[in-house]
Structure 1
Amino acid sequence: MKEAVVNFINYMTGLLWGPFMLILLLGGGIFLTIRLNFIQFRYFKYMWNQTFGNLFKKQEKQDSEDAHGTVTPFQAVTTALASTVGAANIVGVPVAIFFGGPGAVFWMWVTALFGMITKYVEVVLGVMYREKNADGEYVGGPMYYLKNGLKSKFLGNAYAFIFMLTIVSGIMVQANSAAGSAESLGINTTISGIIITLIVGIIVVGGVKRVGKVSEKFVPFMASLYVLGCLIIIFANITAIPGVFVSIFKSAFSPQAAVGGFAGSTIALTMRWGIARGAYSNEAGMGSAPIAHAAAKTDHPVRQGMWGMFSVFFDTLLICTMTALVILSTGIWTNGDIGAAAMTAEAFNDFYGKIGGGLVSFSVLLFVISTIYVILFYGERLAEYLFGKTFSLIMRYVYLGACFAGAVGGLRFLWIFLDFLFGLAVIPNMIGVLFLSGVVAKKTKEFFTSEKYYLKDVKMKKSLND
């Protein structure tokens, strides 16, 4: 009976994450790009100035009378990034290259460029239709814009319930990955399970403000540590980089012959792996990020939407690309004796010695812990939406129990539901995103034609430059 259930779920997951999901996510991103006049390209410089360009400046806009929210815009985006920047950036990229060839990286980039607009729409809607809860905190996400914007309480409830259950499996899988990384550093899985569960519990018990404060320090540190490690290897192999880019673009549009341990791939296979890993990495279209961004202090939904676009750029076009360049420039992807998931660690090992594998394991540990505490926070918000504050506290301890169980390798049967449930949650969210795109288009036009927002920002920048 158990084997039959496993086979059925695996079969349904394969159908769900096949061409249908790729068309929904990538096709949806293309539709939104046209519907919103290519703003991720037209206003890329403005997006950059409003996000990364403002990190080291006083955040006057978030303190203005028009700005409302619970956490700062940066805390909101780092909270969302803590969920997306994870093992997929380190492990998922070499898997995509191993099965799809270097061309998979190109399709990962394409997915990110269109994913930027999908994430933008999600975040704008998340801020537009957010509410205040009993504690006076701003709450939002797909369940709120499906209920308040699309006027479909059924779809809102369906999304919240499916995603709430998804997080149980998600936490278990992530905790097991974290415990595995800790084990490679010499820490027993039971001990690491206890430590990870305690750390996550201490963070989430402080609510959205503590989650935001931890994320704004934790995420830049862990990302910088990993990116620096990658950059050193890339610069050491700088002469190979031009050839790497040639192989990425060339194999994106032509079948890739077998090389070493790589079995070769067709164009369709290359596209499939690149698009799937890109979408899974930045989570554009999955509806998780608006839950974090809805709490941000901002004077306009579009301004926070810029942070949504930045998060996809940072996650996929920066961190995933760093991993890809390491894998391709070192040539380790053609080594048939190394499993795809272990390639990044092996590349670091070859370059840095034993400390390299430890650095990757430590990075995975940090990335995964951040993912756990954020998706647990998401789960609480979903439970609160469905059944109220008291139930959300009950779910907190269910999730913490799942964290420990996953770390020690328990209840593995539940893990098979992760991708299936995740895919089911995407459907109602994308329905809301696509059908409410007209509302976002109007809000976007309002922002970019207003003397109070975009035009004022441009004039201020021009006067500073003069």
Structure 2
Amino acid sequence: MVEIINKINDFLWGAPSLILLVGTGLFLTIILKGMPFRKLFYAMKLAFVPDKEDSSAEGDVSNFKALMTSLAGMIGNGNIAGIATAITLGGPGALFWMWVVGLLGMATKYSEALLAQIYRVKNENGEYSSGPMYYIERGIGKKWKPLAAAFAIFAAIAALGTGNGVQSNTIADVMDNSFHVTGWVTGIILVVLTALIIFGGLKRISNVAGVFVPFLALLYIVGALLVLVINYDQILPAFELIFTHAFTPVSAAGGFTGFVVSQAIQQGVSKGIFSNEAGLGTVALIAGNAKTTHPVKQGLVAMTGVFIVTIIICTMTGLVLIITGFWDPSGGLISGVEHNPNLEAGALTSAAFGSVLGVLGEYIVSVSVIFFGFSTIIGWYVYGAKCFEYLFGLKYISLYGVIYLACTYLGSVADLSLMWTIANLTNGLMIIPNLIGLLLLYKVIKRETEKFFANPVEKNQLS
């Protein structure tokens, strides 16, 4: 079964799907006439400066808290381990292609959040429900409901694996290796903390995310900045390597086999999408709960998440790995730092930080992995619960919470090779119905965007 699923995964995450994801982002960027780039500063202002009009609009949480809840799901161990994997398998040039997919992904995220607001519905508790399943069914038509249900099924399962089990497994490994806490103890702690937050409802989750996410992101960024400042003279050479090897191969040397350009492109695109989730439709599951006077505003706020995750946090990680020389499996071509060639993923990032900051650097990464992982667990619960609600109604939502907590514990103590495989499968399957929805509703995206920016009142605000 694992072999069959792996073959399906190879196809889902192969060239056709990656081209479709990047192509959708490019198409949406073109029909929006580059709006995500032109209005980025305005989008940042909407995200981080409270708007009195938005605070009195209909919705369940503020723009900022909706963004933080979304970031809680996005800022996971993919931003630490995933970037290390991309650069060690694709070379420094992978970071360039990650930027490309991140910039194009801004249009995709914008469109997902915009449609989430337009087609959101109120549930029995008076809270808003949104997501690709709603804009597929209500935007394209009832006959597309099977496709909407397919997305909900894939996402509800993906939340148990990608957003939960594999995260608790990573946390348990770090707790054991760095702090000598056994897996079952970590599992119990995670279950208790997760239960206290998720059973408090969306508002408690968003309140926790509103404090938690900025703190953990700042901790990691400060640690990365320390490494960069100490090695400031290596920053320009690092960028030179990134831009050079985005288009030219890295030569082999000694036991080092080198990298071809196709590896850089594949790793950069796939890990970029994995880190910012543009195209998965996850942001649409929370964007509909935001208080805003216009759907376009929430779309703009949502797209800043891609910029924060890919252009800022992933770039920080990539630069640290390149500057310290830990991108090269043979031991480092820039600084000559010798390291264990068996290190990979998060352990490699931790060693890179530690090579400059000592034990402090290793602890910064270890603590970041724990907090990033936990934020992902609570963020993805929102996604899974929204999809479960669409499929079965609010009556059984507590059942999903119990299942979710069980996966949290199992992830801490079990071998998750099969769960990782299934998680990758369901993540890949989520993309198909979501992209179909976005492409078939592109006229709505284009029309609503043009109407918003043609409004003289909004023009005054933007000037």
Tell me the CA shift for residue 11 of structure 1. 1.1
Alignment-derived partner of residue 24 in structure 2: 28
Asked if structure 1 preserves the Cα contact closer than 8 Å seen for 2:324 and 2:355, the reply is: no
Deviations 1:437-466 (A, max 9, x none): 1101100011101134x224136xxxxxxx
Tell me the CA shift for residue 161 of structure 1. 1.1
Alignment-derived partner of residue 37 in structure 2: 41
State yes or no: 1:276 paired with 2:266.
no
Asked if structure 2 preserves the Cα contact closer than 8 Å seen for 1:105 and 1:274, the reply is: yes
Structure 1 unpaired stretches of 5+? 460-466
* Counterparts of 1:123 and 1:209, CA distance in 2: 19
Tell me the CA shift for residue 260 of structure 1. 6.7
Indicate the SS of the match to 1:255.
coil
* Counterparts of 1:76 and 1:346, CA distance in 2: 34
Asked if structure 2 preserves the Cα contact closer than 8 Å seen for 1:260 and 1:335, the reply is: no
1:128-207 aligned at under 5 Å gives the runs 128-151=118-141, 152-170=144-162, 171-183=164-176, 184-207=178-201
Aligned residues between the structures: 448
Tell me the CA shift for residue 47 of structure 1. 2.1
Alignment-derived partner of residue 316 in structure 1: 310
Deviations 1:238-295 (A, max 9, x none): 1011111111001001111135775311111110000001011000000111111110
* Counterparts of 1:202 and 1:177, CA distance in 2: 21
* Counterparts of 1:261 and 1:399, CA distance in 2: 45
* Counterparts of 1:260 and 1:188, CA distance in 2: 40
Aligned partner (choices 231, 236, 246) of residue 242 of structure 1 = 236
* Counterparts of 2:373 and 2:183, CA distance in 1: 15
Alignment-derived partner of residue 463 in structure 1: none
Asked if structure 2 preserves the Cα contact closer than 8 Å seen for 1:144 and 1:156, the reply is: yes
Q: Which moved more, 1:409-418 or 1:85-94?
A: 409-418
* Counterparts of 1:212 and 1:362, CA distance in 2: 21
Deviations 1:130-160 (A, max 9, x none): 0111111111010110111111211111100
Aligned partner (choices 400, 404, 408) of residue 399 of structure 1 = 404
Tell me the CA shift for residue 421 of structure 1. 1.2
Asked if structure 1 preserves the Cα contact closer than 8 Å seen for 2:92 and 2:327, the reply is: no
* Partner AA of 1:99 in structure 2: L
Tell me the CA shift for residue 411 of structure 1. 6.2
* Counterparts of 2:54 and 2:208, CA distance in 1: 19
Cα distance change, pair 447–177 in 1 and its aligned pair in 2 (3 A) = same
Indicate the SS of the match to 1:333.
coil
* Counterparts of 2:365 and 2:19, CA distance in 1: 33
Indicate the SS of the match to 2:306.
helix
Tell me the CA shift for residue 377 of structure 1. 1.9
* Counterparts of 1:134 and 1:254, CA distance in 2: 57
* Partner AA of 2:41 in structure 1: K
* Partner AA of 2:263 in structure 1: L
Aligned partner (choices 448, 455, 462) of residue 458 of structure 1 = 462
Tell me the CA shift for residue 224 of structure 1. 0.1
Asked if structure 1 preserves the Cα contact closer than 8 Å seen for 2:93 and 2:241, the reply is: yes
Asked if structure 1 preserves the Cα contact closer than 8 Å seen for 2:166 and 2:419, the reply is: no
Aligned partner (choices 285, 294, 303) of residue 288 of structure 2 = 294
* Counterparts of 1:175 and 1:45, CA distance in 2: 36
* Counterparts of 2:253 and 2:79, CA distance in 1: 24
Alignment-derived partner of residue 100 in structure 2: 110
Deviations 1:66-87 (A, max 9, x none): x210000000000000001110
State yes or no: 1:413 paired with 2:406.
no
Tell me the CA shift for residue 429 of structure 1. 0.3
Aligned partner (choices 371, 375, 395) of residue 380 of structure 2 = 375
Asked if structure 1 preserves the Cα contact closer than 8 Å seen for 2:166 and 2:416, the reply is: no
Tell me the CA shift for residue 352 of structure 1. 2.1
Q: What percentage of aligned pairs have identical amino acids?
A: 40
TM-score (norm 2): 0.94
Asked if structure 1 preserves the Cα contact closer than 8 Å seen for 2:63 and 2:301, the reply is: yes
Tell me the CA shift for residue 44 of structure 1. 2.3
Tell me the CA shift for residue 231 of structure 1. 0.1
* Counterparts of 2:170 and 2:58, CA distance in 1: 37
Aligned partner (choices 50, 72, 90) of residue 62 of structure 2 = 72
1:48-127 aligned at under 5 Å gives the runs 48-52=44-48, 54=49, 58-64=50-56, 67-127=57-117
Cα distance change, pair 400–72 in 1 and its aligned pair in 2 (3 A) = same
Asked if structure 1 preserves the Cα contact closer than 8 Å seen for 2:116 and 2:131, the reply is: yes
Q: CA RMSD in A?
A: 1.4
* Counterparts of 1:241 and 1:456, CA distance in 2: 40
* Partner AA of 1:101 in structure 2: G
Alignment-derived partner of residue 464 in structure 1: none
* Counterparts of 2:173 and 2:214, CA distance in 1: 23
Structure 2 unpaired stretches of 5+? 331-339
Cα distance change, pair 63–254 in 1 and its aligned pair in 2 (3 A) = same
* Counterparts of 2:53 and 2:322, CA distance in 1: 42
* Counterparts of 1:458 and 1:6, CA distance in 2: 52
Indicate the SS of the match to 2:80.
helix
* Partner AA of 2:272 in structure 1: G
1:336-355 aligned at under 5 Å gives the runs 336=330, 337-338=340-341, 339-341=343-345, 342-355=347-360
Cα distance change, pair 22–412 in 1 and its aligned pair in 2 (3 A) = closer
* Counterparts of 1:196 and 1:276, CA distance in 2: 29
* Counterparts of 1:413 and 1:419, CA distance in 2: 10
Deviations 1:370-414 (A, max 9, x none): 101111121111111111112221111011101100111256533
Cα distance change, pair 78–334 in 1 and its aligned pair in 2 (3 A) = same
Asked if structure 2 preserves the Cα contact closer than 8 Å seen for 1:261 and 1:334, the reply is: no
Alignment-derived partner of residue 213 in structure 1: 207
* Counterparts of 1:348 and 1:267, CA distance in 2: 27
Indicate the SS of the match to 1:147.
helix
Asked if structure 2 preserves the Cα contact closer than 8 Å seen for 1:262 and 1:333, the reply is: no
Deviations 1:348-385 (A, max 9, x none): 22222223212211100000001011111211111111
